[in-house]
Amino acid sequence: MTDSAPVDLHCHSTASDGTARPAEVVRLASDAGLSALALTDHDTVAGVAEAAGEAARLGLDFLPGIELSCSFPRPGTLHLLGYGVDPASPALLKLIDEQTRAREVRNRLIVERLNGLGLDVSWDEVLEEAGAGRGENDETRNGGTRDNATRDNATRDDAARDDAARGGGATIGRPHLAAVLVRKGLVASARQAFDRYLGGAGGAYVDTNRLSAERAIAAVRAAGGVASLAHPLLLRRQTPQQLEAMVRELAEQGLEAIETIHSGHDADTVARLTRLADRLDLLTTGGSDFHGSAKPGIRIGKPAGREVPRGFYDRLLHCLRRRRATHRGRPADAPTPAVVADRPGRAGPPSAGQPLQPWQQGSVMNRS
């Protein structure tokens, strides 16, 4: 691995719907010869600490990230990537907690609808599925060693609250529901599960997401991060002009980057989105959207066979560093100066016994 080696800024782990543990994702990135990685699990930062530790051990540059699902009219999908976020930011944790609750309401409704369609699926099976991929000694749940499947309901609720207080638990999503349907032989494949039941046109589709992009962007920025629009084509705007108008609107709300390189983007799309970023003076981000064996066609560090240049990571870091320089005072969501000073990488010195995370160290931040 050299400092000019490519990077991957869009990866999922068992903290959401990926199949590789956070530390494994980092090892795969290192084995693939990448020089930097961002972990961007759906609506959680629960995998960040484990990934950061492994990245430090292997000498890989690491950015804590998140992919927030925002409300958007069907058939479009609006996902916002947040980079360099402080995983302990109160504003971000509050939003994650709300998303987790909304997801549980939605997931339970989907199970009810599936039952209404005559499919024998229970909420416990979904929990088991989401826990199953996470290994026995589950650090993904931020230090927790409890096994989802063995919790009774009351303990589970308590544990969920603990998780939220510590930085969010693991995210449960439709891919876990799809996996249950496949495992029980109720559908032939995850694809069929989405086509028939879980997708926008499926019989059990439920959308309860009320998170506005504006609020998601604000939370990422309050957490000290840079917001990037993930896979912009999935907004499914009819024309390039409509896409541009939407991106402009998001940029006015504080969006600072768009994802140009992605496993779903062909060469033309990459070129078009790169020109759009140039025109709107936005940074570019890129990544594979790696999900492990849940999306077997996707290789870490090789979105659609391409590579994401190291410069994407360096420019993001540069922007984050500038942000910190202008934020010498208190960030917008800072609770009290004492708490902020206690946290590394912010206004004050790190507290004893709490090591600086790699992305919080001046040497890494000052490298670009």
In the list ligand AMP, Zn ion, Fe ion, none, the entry touching 174 (Cβ below 5 to 8 angstroms by class) is ligand AMP
64 interacts with, out of Fe ion, ligand AMP, Zn ion, none, CB within 5 to 8 A per kind: none
Q: Does 103 bind Fe ion (CB under 5 A)?
A: no
The one-letter amino acid at 16:
S
Asked if 196 interacts with ligand AMP (CB under 6 A), we say no
**Residue 97 interacting partner from ligand AMP, Fe ion, Zn ion, none (CB closer than 5 to 8 Å by kind):** none
CA distances from 281 to 201, 269, 313 (A): 36, 18, 17
Beta-carbon contacts of 41 under 8 Å, excluding residues fewer than 6 positions away, are: 12, 13, 15, 16, 18, 47, 66, 67, 171
Q: Which residues partner with 61 through β-bridges? A: 36
- If the CB atoms of residues 301 and 331 are measured against Fe ion, the closer one turns out to be 301
Footprint on this chain of Zn ion (rule: CB under 5 A)? 12, 17
Binds 79: which of Zn ion, Fe ion, ligand AMP, none (CB < 5-8 Å by kind) = Fe ion
Question: Does 131 help bind ligand AMP (rule: CB under 6 A)?
Answer: no
- The two tokens of residue 325 are 């320089």
Least distance to Fe ion, CB of residue 79, Å? 4
| Beta carbon nearer to ligand AMP, 194 or 313 | 194
Least Å distance, CB 339 to ligand AMP, is 32
B/e letters for 127-157, b = 16+ CB within 10 Å, e = fewer, are bbbbbbbbeeebbbbbebeebbeebeeeebe
Contact between residue 235 and residue 77 where contact means Cβ atoms under 8 Å apart: yes
DSSP H helical ranges for 261-305: 267-279
| 90 CB-near residues (< 8 Å, 6+ apart) | 333, 335
286 binds, options ligand AMP, Fe ion, Zn ion, none, Cβ within 5 to 8 A by partner type = none
Find the binder of Fe ion among 54, 138, 289, 333 (CB under 5 A).
Answer: 289
Contact flag: residue 72 with ligand AMP (CB under 6 A): no
